[in-house]
C-alpha cells in the first residue's frame, strides 16, 4: 500500500510539472538569457528547423550506409535517436586568436606531473608495454608518451558520442565529406562488434579512446592486444598499447633508433636548410658543423633533418625516421617533439637543455595575416594570407630576414612584423 501511495504521489508531482504552460517556460528562458519572448520563439523555431533538416540528412545518410553494407540492426542501434550537437560545430569553427608558442605547449605536454604519472603507468603496465615493444619494435616509453599526450593517460579522452560528433560535422562542419567517411567507418566498427555505440566516446572531432584514433585509423591499425576477440581502445590497456605500437610500426618506425637528439648548429648555419623536407645522412650534418651537446657522435641516420622550431635563438634538433613516424600520428612538429621529449623523460633521460626564447610574444592570426600581406607587398611571395605559418610563409620571411641582415630562420616575431611595417 505504501509503495502504491508513493507512486501516485510521484505521478501527481509529475503531472503538476507538466501542467506548467509553455508560455511561462519560454518567459523563464527569455528572462534568463535576457531575451524577449519573441526572440526566444524565433530562436526555438530556428532550432526546430535545424532538427528537422538534420533528420532529413540523417535519413539520406542511413540509406547510403545501408547501400554500403551496414546491417539494419547496426543502423538502428547507432542512428535511432541520434542528436545533432551544435556544440560540436561551435568547436569546429572556433579558432584561437593566438597560437601558443612551442615552449608553452611543451611546458604543459611534458609537465613534471605528466612525467611522473607516465613512469607510474609504465610501471603498472610494464609487462604489456614490453610485450608490444618486442612485437612492433616501438619502445615502451614512446607508447606511454603518446598515451599521456593524447588523453592524459586516459583521464580525458572526451565524453562526446563519436557518432553524434561525426554526424554533426558531416551535416554542417568545415570538412563534411571527411566527416561522412569517418562516420561510415564508425558504423563498420560497430558492425564488426568491437564496441557498443554507447561506449564509442571521444573528442568533438571524432577521435576515440585512450590514444585518440579516428575511425579510419582504428580500422587500419587497431589490434586485439588481450586476445578477447575485440579491439577495445576504450577499456583494454593491452589493446591501447598494441594499437598504438602497430600504428607507429606501420608509419615506418625503425627499431633501435632514437626519434632524434638535441644539437648545436655552427655560427653561420644556413637556416633555410632547417626544414623537415631537407634530409641528409648524419655524416653530412657532422661535416657541416652540427654537433651533439655532449660531444658524442650524432645518431646514425640515413635521412636526417635539422629543425629549429623557435628560430635561431632557440634549441635545435636533429630528427630521423622515427620523428617522421610520430608525425604520421599527428602532423605537428610541436606534437612530435612533445612525444619524443616525454618518452625520454619517462625513460630517465634528460629534457631540452638549450633555452627557449620566452621573451618573444606570439603573433595572433590577424597579425600573421598582416605579416603575410606585407611580405607579398614587398615582393616576398607567400601566397594568400591565411594566418597559418606554412613553408611558403617561412620561405618568404627568410628572404626578408636575409635582405635586412637578420638570421634567416623563418621564425615569425612581433619585432619582425614591426620592421615590415616600417
Spatial contact of 196 and 219, defined as CB atoms under 8 Å apart: no
Number of domains in the chain: 2
* Percentage, residues of the chain above pLDDT 70: 91
User: Which residues form the domain of 371?
Assistant: 365-421
Bridge partner list, 306: 318
Distance CA 299, CA 96 (A): 38
pLDDT for residue 35: 65
Q: Is residue 296 part of a domain?
A: no
pTM for this prediction: 0.87
Rounded to 5 degrees, what angle do the CA atoms 209, 166, 158 make? 30
pLDDT band, very low/low/confident/very high, at 7 (cuts 50, 70, 90): very low
pLDDT band, very low/low/confident/very high, at 31 (cuts 50, 70, 90): low
Distance CA 123, CA 164 (A): 36
pLDDT (mean) for 266-271:
94
Spatial contact of 230 and 170, defined as CB atoms under 8 Å apart: no
Q: Is residue 52 part of a domain?
A: yes
Burial class (CB in 10 A: 0-12, 13-18, 19+), 207: buried
Q: What are phi and psi of 317, to 5 degrees?
A: -135, 145
Helix, strand, coil percent content, the chain, rounded in steps of 5:
55, 5, 40
Give me the chain's average pLDDT, please: 90
Q: Is residue 417 part of a domain?
A: yes
pLDDT (mean) for 334-359:
96
DSSP annotation of 157: S
**Which residues have CB under 8 Å from 192's CB, separation 6+?**
none
What CATH number is attached to the domain comprising 197?
A: 1.10.8.350
Distance CA 133, CA 255 (A): 9
Give the sign of the dihedral formed by CA 33, CA 37, CA 38, CA 44: positive
Q: Is the pLDDT of residue 16 over 50?
A: no
Q: Is the pLDDT of residue 235 over 60?
A: yes
Q: Is residue 230 part of a domain?
A: no
pLDDT (mean) for 35-61:
81
Task: Considering only residues 260 and 28, tell me which one the structure prediction assigns the higher pLDDT.
Answer: 260
Among residues 215, 241, 258, the one where a domain terminates is: 215
Lowest mean pLDDT among 90-94, 196-200, 368-372: 90-94
What's the pLDDT tens digit per position in 364-376? 899 999 999 999 9
Q: Is residue 197 part of a domain?
A: yes
Q: Is residue 56 part of a domain?
A: yes
Q: Is the pLDDT of residue 212 over 80?
A: yes
pLDDT for residue 43: 66
What's the pLDDT tens digit per position in 253-263? 999 999 999 99
Torsion, CA 379, CA 384, CA 386, CA 389, rounded to 10: -50
**Which residues have CB under 8 Å from 118's CB, separation 6+?**
141, 144, 145, 148, 153, 342, 345, 346
pLDDT for residue 48: 79
What's the pLDDT tens digit per position in 302-328? 999 999 999 999 999 999 999 999 999
Lowest mean pLDDT among 41-50, 90-99, 395-404, 408-417: 41-50
First to last CA, the chain: 87
Among residues 200, 215, 230, the one where a domain terminates is: 215
Q: Is residue 341 part of a domain?
A: no
Q: Is residue 171 part of a domain?
A: yes
pLDDT for residue 33: 55
Among residues 173, 200, 215, the one where a domain terminates is: 215
Amino acid at each position: 500500500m505504501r509503495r502504491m501511495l508513493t507512486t501516485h504521489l510521484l505521478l501527481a508531482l509529475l503531472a503538476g510539472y507538466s501542467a506548467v504552460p509553455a508560455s511561462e517556460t519560454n518567459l523563464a528562458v527569455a528572462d534568463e538569457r535576457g531575451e524577449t519572448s519573441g526572440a526566444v520563439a524565433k530562436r526555438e523555431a530556428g532550432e526546430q528547423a535545424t532538427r528537422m533538416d538534420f533528420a532529413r540528412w540523417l535519413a539520406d545518410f542511413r540509406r547510403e550506409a545501408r547501400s554500403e553494407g551496414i546491417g539494419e540492426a547496426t543502423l538502428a542501434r547507432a542512428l535511432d535517436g541520434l542528436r545533432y550537437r551544435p556544440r560540436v560545430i561551435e568547436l569546429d569553427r572556433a579558432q584561437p586568436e593566438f597560437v601558443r608558442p612551442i615552449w608553452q605547449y611543451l611546458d604543459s605536454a611534458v609537465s613534471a606531473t605528466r612525467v611522473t604519472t607516465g613512469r607510474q603507468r609504465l610501471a603498472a603496465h610494464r609487462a604489456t608495454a614490453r610485450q608490444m615493444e618486442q612485437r612492433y619494435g616501438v619502445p615502451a616509453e614512446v607508447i606511454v608518451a603518446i598515451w599521456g599526450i593524447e588523453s592524459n593517460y586516459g583521464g580525458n579522452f572526451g565524453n562526446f558520442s563519436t557518432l553524434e560528433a561525426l554526424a554533426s560535422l558531416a551535416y554542417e562542419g568545415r570538412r563534411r565529406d571527411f566527416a561522412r567517411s569517418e562516420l561510415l567507418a564508425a558504423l563498420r566498427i560497430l558492425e564488426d562488434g568491437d564496441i557498443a555505440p554507447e561506449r564509442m566516446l571521444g573528442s568533438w572531432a571524432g577521435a576515440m579512446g585512450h590514444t585518440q584514433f579516428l575511425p579510419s585509423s582504428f580500422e587500419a591499425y587497431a589490434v586485439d592486444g588481450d586476445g578477447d576477440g575485440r579491439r577495445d581502445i576504450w577499456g583494454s590497456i593491452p589493446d591501447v598499447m598494441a594499437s598504438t605500437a602497430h600504428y607507429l610500426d606501420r608509419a615506418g618506425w625503425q627499431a633501435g633508433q632514437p626519434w632524434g637528439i638535441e644539437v648545436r648548429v655552427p655560427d653561420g648555419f644556413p637556416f633555410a636548410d632547417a626544414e623537415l623536407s631537407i634530409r641528409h645522412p648524419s655524416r653530412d650534418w657532422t661535416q657541416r658543423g652540427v654537433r651533439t651537446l655532449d660531444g658524442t657522435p650524432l645518431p646514425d641516420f640515413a635521412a636526417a633533418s635539422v629543425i629549429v622550431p623557435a628560430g635561431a635563438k632557440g634549441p635545435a634538433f636533429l630528427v630521423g625516421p622515427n620523428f617522421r613516424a610520430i608525425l604520421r600520428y599527428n602532423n605537428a612538429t610541436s606534437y612530435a617533439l612533445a612525444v619524443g621529449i616525454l618518452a625520454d623523460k619517462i625513460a630517465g633521460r634528460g629534457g631540452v637543455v638549450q633555452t627557449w626564447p620566452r621573451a618573444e610574444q606570439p603573433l595572433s592570426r590577424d597579425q600573421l595575416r598582416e605579416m603575410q600581406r606585407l611580405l607579398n607587398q614587398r615582393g616576398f611571395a607567400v601566397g594568400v594570407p591565411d594566418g597559418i605559418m606554412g613553408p611558403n610563409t617561412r620561405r618568404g620571411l627568410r628572404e626578408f630576414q636575409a635582405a635586412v641582415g637578420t638570421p634567416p630562420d623563418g621564425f615569425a616575431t612581433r619585432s619582425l612584423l614591426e620592421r615590415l611595417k616600417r
